[in-house]
Amino acid sequence: MKNLAAELEQIENASVRQDEPLSKHTTIRIGGPAEWFVIPHSIEALKQTVAVAKAHQAPIFVIGRGSNLLVPDEGLSGVVIKLGKGLDHYKKDGNLVTVGGGYPFVKLAVMTSRDGLSGFEFAGGIPGSVGGAVYMNAGAHGSDVSRVLKEAHILFADGTMEWLSNEEMKFSYRTTVLQKERPGICLEARFQLKEGNAKDITNEMKTYKTYRKNTQPYDSPCAGSIFRNPLPSYSGELIEKAGLKGFSIGGAQVSPMHANFIVNIGDAKAEDVKAVIRHVQDTIFEKTGIQLQTEIEIIGTEVAH
């Protein structure tokens, strides 16, 4: 791996670290060390990082702001790429907004509201990066990314880049073409918004944000919603009715505030979280016949995903 290290460190406009604790980069504060941790500060640096890792057959993992993610306690071998500075641009052209994949999703909602652009009211309070939000079609309050995305600039595993239209992204509930059919990294996204009243938009966002603050445990280390909603049912309601609020294993606990969240109540391990997830899945299946599927990305797991 010496050649891999040397080649990574030669990439211009990129920060490279060895054995970086991933617990510092996930919102649930869990995760062992990344063998190689790279923050590319440009699209070209990102392309080079992917190319170098592939040339050495090193596994590649991409993270944004670390929400909706559970990393193994033993860490990750290979190259972990974090989208951040240099991939966090924001450009407004009329009602069209182009944003880097590393741009904070909640900041995008704030910026567009100040500009009097409507479409991201639902995103007030949603953590994560724009790239991650596009990747998983993030949403809330009856709306999601698919409603506003015009096209997304994607870097594919073979090194090619392409702008995919809304239709080509194949959006569905918390799902896109990038997850399985055409794995790729969202470099930037272009959103088509509508003109609105800045004050009204901001007030609507504040209402949603207050609701999330009062009903979801974002003041505690967590990874966001754990399970996809088996519509027309809702995971949180099913888990609460099963009496599982407050259930814990090790340092991982089903949130007493919202049952579809698992919080780190102190030195939780990834294995604790996975054990809680399996217990919840088994209990709900026994009681309702519904198999809950996880919404968060769990690296290295046997639980239903």
For 205-222, what is each residue's pLDDT tens digit? Answer: 888 888 888 888 988 999
The pLDDT mean for the chain works out to: 92
The predicted pLDDT at position 303 comes to 47
The predicted pLDDT at position 205 comes to 86
Please give the positions annotated as active site.
174, 225, 295
The predicted pLDDT at position 305 comes to 43
Instruction: Of 178, 248, 254, give the one whose Cα is nearest residue 217.
Output: 254
* Banded pLDDT at 228 (limits 50, 70, 90): very high
Which domains, ranges and CATH numbers included, belong to the chain? 2-82 (3.30.43.10), 90-215 (3.30.465.10), 235-298 (3.90.78.10)
The secondary element (H helix, E strand) that includes residue 225 is none
Q: Average pLDDT, stretch 218-245?
A: 94
**This prediction's pTM:** 0.89
Bridge partners (DSSP) of residue 149 are 191
